Structure 1
Amino acid sequence: MKKIVVFAMFLMATISFAQNKNAKASLEVDGVCMMCKDRIEKACIKTKGVKSANWNVETHELKLIYNEEKTTLDDIKKNIVAVGHDLKDMKATDEAYNSVHDCCRYRDDDVKKDHE
């Protein structure tokens, strides 16, 4: 019995120390303009545990710093697609995409050309 208790305590300590309070991630997020940048970054920052979110308009790279004890990368991704932006492995619903401003319609080739 004593061995089980010691093992359980060891396991709990390992799990709690395994999470990173300053985890870094980089994601590719579709968008075309500064309005998209605002929307993407706000969706991330509103996620509990996200400390920093910076999306680059030209490269479409989103750099994140977040606390793994408070959120997961999947939760952050879900919040991004919920505001209408696609990721490599997750697509926004048509309803969410259609909610973005007309100049932010990154799936439309004409809109992409206008932002070049």
Structure 2
Amino acid sequence: MKKLVVIIVMLFAYVSFGQNKNAKASIEVDGVCLMCKERIEKACIKTKGVKSAIWNVKTHELKVIYDERKTNLDSIQNSVVAVGHDTKTLKAKDEAYNSLHTCCLYRDTEVQEDHKE
């Protein structure tokens, strides 16, 4: 009987703690300013299953932690593209891009120059 209880407890522990629910990923996302940062991170967090999203203005790197059972990288990238920001593999539709604030138009070389330090 003791062996059976031990086996059940071990099996429960394996099932409960053996699965890695959270995946980490890094995505390149275009943008130029802190308003872009807020928009990109907010779009990610609104995606079901995303637990953390941090976008670096200088490196354009978006680091996400998400539950693989609820979402995937394609869904996260689609959320970012929907708010007007390009990723390395997806380009935002012109309508979404043109809805950005004028200081956020990262495809414009003048805007890029304005945001350089």
1:94 corresponds to which residue? 94
SS at match of 2:30: coil
Amino acid at match of 2:86: D
1:111 corresponds to which residue? 111
How far off is 1:20 after superposition? 4.0
1:12 corresponds to which residue? none
1:85 corresponds to which residue? 85
Amino acid at match of 1:25: A
1:49 corresponds to which residue? 49
SS at match of 1:24: strand
How far off is 1:21 after superposition? 1.4
Distance 2:72 2:20 in 1: 11
Instruction: List aligned pairs for 1:4-43, cutoff 5 A.
Output: 20-43=20-43
Distance 1:98 1:38 in 2: 17
TM-score (norm. length: structure 1): 0.83
Q: CA RMSD in A?
A: 1.6
Q: Percent identity?
A: 73
Q: Deviations over 1:57-106 (max 9, x none)?
A: 00000000000001111000000000000001000000010011000000
TM-score (norm. length: structure 2): 0.82
Distance 1:21 1:112 in 2: 38
Amino acid at match of 2:52: S
State the structure with more CA Rg: 2
Distance 2:20 2:92 in 1: 28
Distance 2:90 2:102 in 1: 21
Unaligned residue ranges in structure 1 (runs of 5+): 1-18
1:15 corresponds to which residue? none
Q: Does the Cα contact within 8 Å between 1:48 and 1:70 map onto a contact in 2?
A: yes
Count of residues in correspondence between the two structures? 100
1:59 pairs with 2:49: no
Q: Does the Cα contact within 8 Å between 1:20 and 1:69 map onto a contact in 2?
A: no
Amino acid at match of 2:67: N
**Structure 1 segments (4+ residues) deviating >3 Å:** none
SS at match of 2:87: coil
